[in-house]
Amino acid sequence: MSLDTIFVDLLNSDMETMFKEIIEEYRDIVPESKKADFTLEKLIDTFKITDIKRVGQPEFVNKTRKKVENCNRCMARIWGSTPPLAYYCEIKKKYVYGQRCTKPKNGDGDYCKLHSKNLPHGKFGELPPHEHFEKYL
């Protein structure tokens, strides 16, 4: 049994349950002239799902970015996760907040194209310019 068939069966089963509830709730409100069409069988026949059409199925593109050597990486801090990464480095004897941007430096500068225009979380290895991280500690 295919996944589409299972999905169609589940949808039809859920719709049948919904139709039963609708009939129970609105049975007394439906005019006599329409009661012949207001049956479970008629509703199922009218609205039964027979097939699923997949629209705009996503294409999975495997983008593998070249690994950038540390000496060529952007020096910007990124949070990279929620909550942001924060740990105490025993070697450097200080807290490290966030992660270092993984993109390559732009030209001779210290930052990638994006971070050379905007540095919201500061330079990696220095204290952040704000206390955003403290709520996660």
93-121 pLDDT, tens digit each: 777 778 889 899 999 999 999 999 989 88
pTM: 0.47
What burial class does residue 96 get, using C-beta atoms within 10 Å of its C-beta: 0-12 exposed, 13-18 middle, 19+ buried? Answer: middle
Q: Which two tokens stand for residue 114?
A: 């994006």
Instruction: Classify each residue of 32-49 as buried b or exposed e, where b means 16 or more C-beta atoms within 10 Å of its C-beta.
Output: eeeeeebeeeebeeeeee
Q: Summarize pLDDT for 34-60 with one digit per residue, the tens.
A: 888 889 999 999 889 888 877 776 666
